[in-house]
Amino acid sequence: MDLEHARFNMIEQQIRPWEVLDSHVLQLLSVVKREDFVPLAHKALAFVDMEIPLREGGARGQVMLAPRVEARLLQEANVQKHEKVLEIGAGSGYMAALLAHRAQRVTTLEIEPELARMARANLQKAGIVNADVREADGAAGAQPDGPFDVIVLSGSVAEVPQSLLAQVKVGGRLVGVVGEEPMMRATVMTRTGESTWATVQPWDTIVPRLLNFAEPSKFHF
């Protein structure tokens, strides 16, 4: 496979047509080697418009998101060089690598020990020193080094829990995919004050759930 040609096609045929037009994001996608974060068994799928399983027989949701979804979430996050970022769901470490190129520091949480090890090894191999992989449950409460300028959810939640919102600095933002199938929306929540938020939902998509986040009750009385 001609990797550079495949990467170029991914950017031009999948990502740019999906309204990812930020030149910094497009440049980053051409520099960070996505194929180095894909499990060996699925290397040939590195640039395909699909979710890639991260481990055999793992729970649903243990995937690399489709390239266009990753790219658009990265664009929405609009991370700046001075900012401290928290990612929920490290997976293979690819999104953390992209974020680390733009942020001062990235902390990424991964609930599965095997994936945490994979992400750590991949980031190390890529020479990224400002991303820290923690084996932790992102749904379980505050991180000691919060609050953060940006929180990125690399998976969907039914609703954003208060425990995460509390870790966003005033002026900071949380970016993720929120809702239930068949209707999930990319959601950007910007903290405008101690208890005030501005929320936009610029596009729709469906991505697998992050583990352990609460689901709304299906019972209606």
Top pLDDT among 60 and 97 is at 97
Mean pLDDT of all residues in 146-175: 97
Average confidence (pLDDT) over 169-190: 97
Does residue 219 form part of some domain? no
Residue 209 belongs to a domain: no
DSSP 79-129: --TT-EEEEE--TTSHHHHHHHHHSSEEEEEESSHHHHHHHHHHHHHTT--
Across the range 51-62, mean pLDDT stands at 73
Residue 156 lies in a domain: yes
Give pLDDT tens digits for 181-191: 999 999 999 99
Q: Per-residue pLDDT tens for 91-141? A: 999 999 999 999 999 999 999 999 999 999 999 999 999 999 999 999 998
Given this model, what pLDDT does residue 217 score?
72
**In this structure, is residue 43 part of a structural domain?**
yes
CA-closest candidate to residue 86, choices 28, 31, 139, 20: 139
Q: Is the pLDDT of residue 179 over 90?
A: yes
Lowest mean pLDDT among 19-28, 45-54, 57-66: 57-66
State yes or no: pLDDT of 6 exceeds 60: yes
> Is there a domain that residue 215 lies in?
no
214 part of a folded domain? no
Gap between the Cα atoms of 54 and 63, Å rounded: 5
At CA 28, angle to CA 24 and CA 33, rounded to 5? Answer: 175
Helix axes 113-125, 94-102, angle to 10 degrees: 50
Q: Does residue 96 lie in a domain region?
A: yes
pLDDT given for residue 61 in this prediction: 54
Q: Please tell me the distance from the alpha carbon of residue 71 to that of residue 180, in angstroms, as a whole number.
A: 22
Percent of the chain at pLDDT above 70?
A: 95
Residue-level pLDDT at 216: 81
d(CA 95, CA 128): 12
Give the CATH number, domain containing residue 47: 3.40.50.150
Show the domain range for 33: 3-204
Mean pLDDT calculated for residue range 188-216: 95
- Asked if pLDDT for residue 56 goes beyond 90, the answer is no
Q: Are the beta carbons of 198 and 192 closer than 8 angstroms?
A: yes
Q: Is residue 106 part of a domain?
A: yes
Tally of CA atoms within 13 A in the half-sphere of 159 that contains its CB? 7
Model pLDDT, residue 141: 85
The average confidence (pLDDT) of the chain is 94
- Domain count for the chain: 1
